[in-house]
Structure 1
Amino acid sequence: MKEKSTLYIVIPCYNEEAVLPETNPMFLGELHELMEKGLVSEDSRIMYVNDGSKDRTWELIEEYSKNPHIVGISQSRNRGHQSTVLAGMMEAKESADIIITIDCDGQDDINCMNDMVQAYQNGAEVVYGVRKKRTTDTFFKRFTAEGFYHVMEKLGVEIIFNHADYRLMSKKALDAMAEFTEVNLFLRGLVPLVGFNYAIVEYDRFERIAGESHYPLKKMLGLAFDGITSLSIKPIRLITSLGILTSLVSFLFIIWSLVSHFIGNTVSGWSSTVTIVAFIGGIQLVSIGIIGEYIGKIYLETKHRPRYIIDKRTSDED
């Protein structure tokens, strides 16, 4: 059993002025409950991380930070959900023994934090929050989301099925995470690479309390593609296999054409030619596009740009 630890609840925020007034009391109540039970120390905090919001999100965070158990940091511009979560993790680890990352929309069951902290006290360095089921999702979202996890597993990516970004990490795990310097972030795939003992806490997910989702289909597809190309080279190997298979088929077609020519069974026409050219051309364009994605990521990684830049801290104004 580990001694009482300092917990930071890291909450990324982007244009959340509609939902924060509803969820802030919930997070604060859960933190006080954990402290009253003696599971975490009185130095524990909620850390809101503003991702360049264009509404009153930062003003609300500043207001809430008058409470000694709430702090806030703000990025210099919008950098995306994954960079915002990472910023909170790296900033919080300087003061915390453990951190829990959770979205601010109220969909993830905050009552699971109790089980997460207890799992940490029992020896887990990482605790993953995993959805029991997806009954609140539409059929399309459920089908595509679960299909994504299966595809990632087939491509050799270590990933926890139905886990998003609701997790607990110890300072030991965070220090190891800091050694990963990728600019292209997919935390669901990076955290399992850290290793160490881990546990899983299952929970039911709820409807968003207020406001609109900031992860439409386009962003979800972008995150999925980033995850695949950042953590697996199997797509390139699949291109190689497809190229070999196409070459074999083309070679057989050449043999068939020569045989047909010598037995005098050829008929001039353009349909078959156009079909074959279009087929080969399509494969080439898709292959070049996938390879281009990898080259683009190499280009971004070689620049070593900062993954986040903190512009404001509520503590700076206290």
Structure 2
Amino acid sequence: MGCGLYLVVPCYNEEEVLPETTKRLNDKMERMCREGLIDDGRSKVLYVNDGSKDRTWELIQQIHRENPRFTGISLAHNMGHQNALLAGLMTAKDYADAVISMDADLQDDVEVLDEMIKKYMDGNDIVYGVRSSRKKDTFFKRFSAESFYRVMSAMGVKTVFNHADYRLTSKRVLESLKDFREVNLFLRGIFPLIGYTSDVVLYERNERFAGESKYPFKKMLAFAWDGITSFTVKPLKAISVIGILISFISLLFLLHFLLTKLLGYTVQGWTSVICSIWLVGGLQLFCLGIIGEYIGKIYGEVKQRPRYIIEENLLDAAEQEI
């Protein structure tokens, strides 16, 4: 008998792509059921409506009525991709042996789901979907994405290179994830911390089927910064290094000016003095900004507000008793 599999798919304003996503996922689930990879009675697709402003939730409800293989939960308001994904994972873990998270835009190749399940059956608790190449990306997109992973690695944050949120996780991994109580979520960094046996599946990322990307450059930059400040204090250590370095350089200049004074030379260079003041002032503000980011995160964590609130749940009583 195959495993009970849940596909968790966060959705935010996905009405354009949802019908095609449903069709492809249904076809794939049927094939996996016929091949004995998954148990038809215990396998579902769980859509997570992250406070969409279009007809996404109405479509999810309609799809659920037409095909019980599809179900969904709706968050009370938009909580962001990571929180919506967490809500789906924490809901699915009570019913599934394994959960695969993926995006709704069909960029994640559904044809590698079989390989993920097989690697899970071979004893892997986490199977990461990793892009085989970035040839389809623009130069800027490729450069910025790869730079992100390299910077994260340099900062000491353990991530899987070229992996986003397309992954399989076993039930016991999700039980461990439940103990991570942080409000500032960066799931790509949390799963490697959990441990357990893992493997990767390579796939070619497709073009978005319809709609617009929910991660423009500004959001991607903010996401990267959240990942760094959530997992490492190296930026704070860098501030100390910068302070020591500036103090050392200032000492050298002080010795230089004292020497020129003793030798009777007139000290010239008001421009250099003003530039130095502006430079040091700018560095101070920058460093204060970094410290402020960390203080802000501490403020968010100590309030312990819920990371998501589920307003509606289409899982019926029979499913919740499984």
Q: TM-score, normalised by structure 1?
A: 0.97
Q: What amino acid maps onto 2:231 in structure 1?
A: L
Work out the CA distance in 2 between the residues paired with 1:316 and 1:69: 12
SS at match of 1:167: strand
Aligned to 1:37: 35
Work out the CA distance in 2 between the residues paired with 1:269 and 1:225: 39
Aligned to 1:62: 61
TM alignment of 1:216-235, pairs within 5 A: 216-235=216-235
Aligned to 1:291: 291
Work out the CA distance in 2 between the residues paired with 1:112 and 1:270: 65
Aligned to 2:192: 192
Q: What amino acid maps onto 2:223 in structure 1?
A: L
Aligned to 1:49: 48
SS at match of 2:8: strand
SS at match of 1:141: helix
Measured against aligned partners, the alpha-carbon deviations of 1:209-242 in whole angstroms (never above 9, x if no partner) come to: 0111111011100100000000011111111111
Work out the CA distance in 1 between the residues paired with 2:34 and 2:146: 38
Measured against aligned partners, the alpha-carbon deviations of 1:15-73 in whole angstroms (never above 9, x if no partner) come to: 00011111110011111111111111121000000000000000000011121111110
Work out the CA distance in 2 between the residues paired with 1:188 and 1:258: 54
Q: Is the 8 A contact 2:74 2:311 kept in 1?
A: yes
Work out the CA distance in 2 between the residues paired with 1:126 and 1:267: 66
Aligned to 1:89: 89
Q: Could you tell me which of 16, 19, 34 is aligned with 2:17? A: 19
Give the unaligned 5+ runs of structure 2: none
Measured against aligned partners, the alpha-carbon deviations of 1:71-114 in whole angstroms (never above 9, x if no partner) come to: 11000000100001110000000111100000010111011110
Q: What amino acid maps onto 1:103 in structure 2?
A: D
Work out the CA distance in 2 between the residues paired with 1:168 and 1:118: 11
Work out the CA distance in 2 between the residues paired with 1:266 and 1:311: 74
Give the unaligned 5+ runs of structure 1: none
User: C-alpha displacement at 1:148, in angstroms?
Assistant: 0.4
Q: What amino acid maps onto 2:238 in structure 1?
A: L
SS at match of 2:264: coil
TM alignment of 1:130-279, pairs within 5 A: 130-279=130-279
Give the RMSD, CA atoms, in angstroms: 1.2
User: C-alpha displacement at 1:267, in angstroms?
Assistant: 3.0
SS at match of 2:315: helix
Q: What amino acid maps onto 2:246 in structure 1?
A: T
User: C-alpha displacement at 1:269, in angstroms?
Assistant: 4.1
SS at match of 1:237: helix
How many residue pairs match? The answer is 316
